Amino acid sequence: MTTIRVGHLYPDYLNIYADRGNIAVLTRRAAWRGHELEVTSLGLGEAVVPGAHDLYYVGGGQDREQLLVAEDLLTKADALRAAVDQGAAMLAVCGGYQLLGRGYRGFHCEDMPGIGLLPLETVAGERRMIGDVLLECELEPGQRRTLAGFENHAGRTRLDPGGEPLGRVLAGFGNDGESGFEGCRTGRVIGTYLHGPLLPRNGWLADWLLAQALGHRLGTEDPPLLEPLADELEHRAHEVSAARARSRGGRYD
């Protein structure tokens, strides 16, 4: 058994749309393979120690909650960058995703500093982008998969030239409703607007994150291969969400 160490950033503030459920999925999928997920809360004033965790997770929140944590997250920026440079993985959702960029300007012109871990900036628009969303992703060369989730954000996120999106939008809005891309990925770090929570309907992404975290824990550059699971229910959840996205397409609410 291998213990996978997870640092959960601000679970008391950033947990909109049941994003905490992503941790539950990672815990169960690790356990089914004989591994243990050791989750540590990293809240306000609590330090990030590079090397102490294999995977970092930060969920979504409204502007009020993001304002509460943004300055504190900035104090953790150097340590998080060092942890990622040492091979730790990271998943950030919605508000957490925005704060991994250089900053987020809210609807009332609140300037929230970001930590610059992802090459992007976000500015709130006047209308929210809401609905089911479907992406095509290629996290591994030659392996295209679809990712289904739910988005609800006013932020318009724009990647820097050369920035790598998480995926191409097949249905829904994505980062800004214009570019045709959603999320951002650099190495083992993923940021996305997809709520739902995301991982119950996308078991393959949960496994990708677990493999990256295991690679860090075991000190290997290439992540280990995980034995497949009987994912009938997960596949069904994915297909239902994907069908909703395809039928709705994208629109402003």
- Identify the DSSP state of 12: T
Q: Which residues contact 63 (CB under 8 A, 6 or more apart)?
A: 95, 106, 107, 108, 110, 112, 124
Query: Any catalytic annotation for residue 153?
Result: no
**Residues found in the chain:** 253
Query: What is the spatial distance between Cα 53 and Cα 91, in angstroms, rounded to a whole number?
Result: 13
Query: What is the spatial distance between Cα 166 and Cα 31, in angstroms, rounded to a whole number?
Result: 27
CB atoms within 10 A of CB 16: 17
What are the structure tokens assigned to 137, written together?
């992703």
Query: Any catalytic annotation for residue 137?
Result: no
Query: What is the spatial distance between Cα 101 and Cα 54, in angstroms, rounded to a whole number?
Result: 21
Catalytic residue among 8, 153, 195, 238: 195
CB atoms within 10 A of CB 32: 12
4 with 55: CB under 8 angstroms? yes
Query: What is the spatial distance between Cα 92 and Cα 94, in angstroms, rounded to a whole number?
Result: 7
Catalytic residue among 94, 137, 153, 184: 94
Active site residues per annotation: 94, 195
